[in-house]
Amino acid sequence: MMDYCTLARVRSELRIKDGKTVDDAILSKFITDASRSMDKTATGVPYAENYFMTETVVGEQLLGQVNYDGKYILVAPHKPLVTTVTAFSYQEDPTTVLYTVAAPIVYRVAGPVVKVYPANLSLCAPSACDVTISYAGGLGATTEDLPEDLQEMAALLTIRYYREAETGLGDQIGVAELASLTYTKAWPTRLTEKFNTYVRKVGWHHLA
């Protein structure tokens, strides 16, 4: 599993001095919790993991869409950005002929969406199709390679989790009608607004 910020960064933002290690284990746990929460929030599915991590994916099975003019197939792999497509095959459904696109594969990337241009597209347009794709994609191979703002958000969310556990706060305290402090365990508004740029705009299982 990949964490989206480092323990050193969280310790620094919490102003924990070097040599104090009493909180490191729980901080590391909350870093992982925050990272997986970001995966789930970005993708909209409860089992997404390492969504932002750059890695090579082999044989991912997806639902694709043949474009209305029959020139290309649209598909949305399970990464925020695809850098290389190494293998691609498609069929109308699991009971029909499987067509393999020979390398080098002609493709274009628009965010998480990939357009693949087979030399002879053998399906009617427009129509859905089953796709098997191998590719490389992601935003960083290591934590330090990830975008700076993504690391910052992971650190902020980790600190949020840590403070909740440290203070034992309930879901909400205070009374808004009396102008007293109100606290909720939902993500802070500024964090949500920043993270919206990383939320997946296409479906996990299909393009819509």
pLDDT in tens, 123-161: 888 889 999 999 999 999 999 999 999 999 999 999 999
The 10s digit of each residue's pLDDT in 36-55 is: 999 999 999 999 999 999 99
Cα–Cα distance for residue pair 23/130, rounded to 1 Å? 48
Distance CA 38, CA 146 (A): 13
Task: Report, as ranges of residue numbers, the positions in the chain whose pLDDT lies below 50.
Answer: none
| pLDDT score, position 174 | 55
Query: Residue 106: which residues within 8 A CB-CB, separation 6 or more?
Result: 116, 117
The SS3 call for residue 203 is: coil
Which pair of tokens denotes residue 14? 């919490």
Q: Could you please state the CATH topology (level 3) that the domain comprising 55-137 is classified under.
A: Immunoglobulin-like (2.60.40)
User: How is the chain split into domains, by residue range?
Assistant: 7-50+143-198, 55-137
